[in-house]
Structure 1
Amino acid sequence: MIFPDINFFDIELYETSKGIVTPEDLIKFILILSFSVLLSRVLTIYLRRSLKDRVSKDVGEPILKLLYYGSLILVFIAILPLIGLDPSGFLLAGGVAGIVLGFASQNIVGNLVAGCFLMFERPIKIGDQVEINGTAGYVTDIRIISTLIRTYDGLLVRLPNQQVFTTNITNIVGHPVRRFEYTIGIRYSDDANAAIGLIKGLIDQEPFALLSPSPSVFVNDLGESSVKIVIRIWAPVNEWFGMKTRLLWNIKKTLEENGIEIAFPQRVLHIKNDSEKKPPDIENLIENKFEENECVLNFEERVLS
Structure 2
Amino acid sequence: MTNSTIITQYIPPLSDPFLQIITVVLILFFTVVLGKGITIYLQRTLKDKMDKEHLNILLKTIYYGLIVLVILGVIFPVLDIDTSGLLVAGGVVGIVIGFASQSIVGNFISGIFLMVERPIKIGDQVNIDNKLGYVEDIKIISTIIRTYEGLYIRLPNETVFTTSITNYVANLVRRFEYVVGIRYEDDADKAIAIIKDLIDEQPYALVNPSPSVFVDNLGDNAVNITVRVWAPAVEWYDTKTKLLWIIKKTLEENGIEIAFPQRTVWFANGLDTRNMDGNGIHED
The interval holding the TM-score normalised by the smaller chain is: 0.7 to 0.9
Give the TM-score of the pair, scaled to structure 1.
0.78
Matched, 1:29 2:24: yes
Q: Secondary structure at the match of 1:20?
A: coil
Residue 159 (structure 1) aligned to one of 135, 155, 159: 155
* Deviating more after overlay: 95-104 vs 169-178: 95-104
Task: State the identity %.
Answer: 58
The corresponding residue for 1:289 is none
Matched, 1:233 2:232: no
Hey, what's the Cα distance between the residues in 2 that align with 1:108 and 1:275? 79
Matched, 1:142 2:131: no
The C-alpha deviation readout for 1:123-165, integer Å capped at 9, x for no partner, is 1112211101110111111111111111112111110111111
- 8 Å Cα contact 2:206-2:229 kept in structure 1: yes
Hey, what's the Cα distance between the residues in 2 that align with 1:115 and 1:176? 25
The corresponding residue for 1:185 is 181
The aligned length equals 260
- 8 Å Cα contact 1:112-1:161 kept in structure 2: yes
The corresponding residue for 1:95 is 91
Hey, what's the Cα distance between the residues in 2 that align with 1:43 and 1:268? 79
| Equivalence map 1:20-59=2 (5 Å) | 20-41=15-36, 43-45=38-40, 47-48=42-43, 50-59=45-54
| Equivalence map 1:76-155=2 (5 Å) | 76-77=71-72, 78-155=74-151
Q: Considering only CA atoms, is the larger Rg found in Structure 1 or Structure 2? A: 1
Q: Residues 202 and 82 (structure 1 numbering): CA distance in 2 closer, same or farther, change over 3 Å?
A: same
Matched, 1:219 2:211: no
Q: Residues 94 and 21 (structure 1 numbering): CA distance in 2 closer, same or farther, change over 3 Å?
A: farther
- 8 Å Cα contact 1:21-1:82 kept in structure 2: no
- 8 Å Cα contact 2:114-2:161 kept in structure 1: yes
Q: Secondary structure at the match of 2:15?
A: strand
Give the TM-score of the pair, scaled to structure 2.
0.83
The C-alpha deviation readout for 1:257-300, integer Å capped at 9, x for no partner, is 11111112223345653479xxxxxxxxxxxxxxxxxxxxxxxx
**Using CA pairs below 8 Å that are at least 6 residues apart, which structure has the higher relative contact order?**
2
Aligned AA for 2:17?
Answer: T
Unaligned runs of at least 5 residues, structure 1: 1-16, 277-305
| Equivalence map 1:286-301=2 (5 Å) | none
- 8 Å Cα contact 1:137-1:152 kept in structure 2: yes
Unaligned runs of at least 5 residues, structure 2: 1-11, 275-284
Aligned AA for 1:179?
Answer: R
Q: Secondary structure at the match of 1:178?
A: strand
The Cα of 1:87 is off from its aligned counterpart by: 3.1
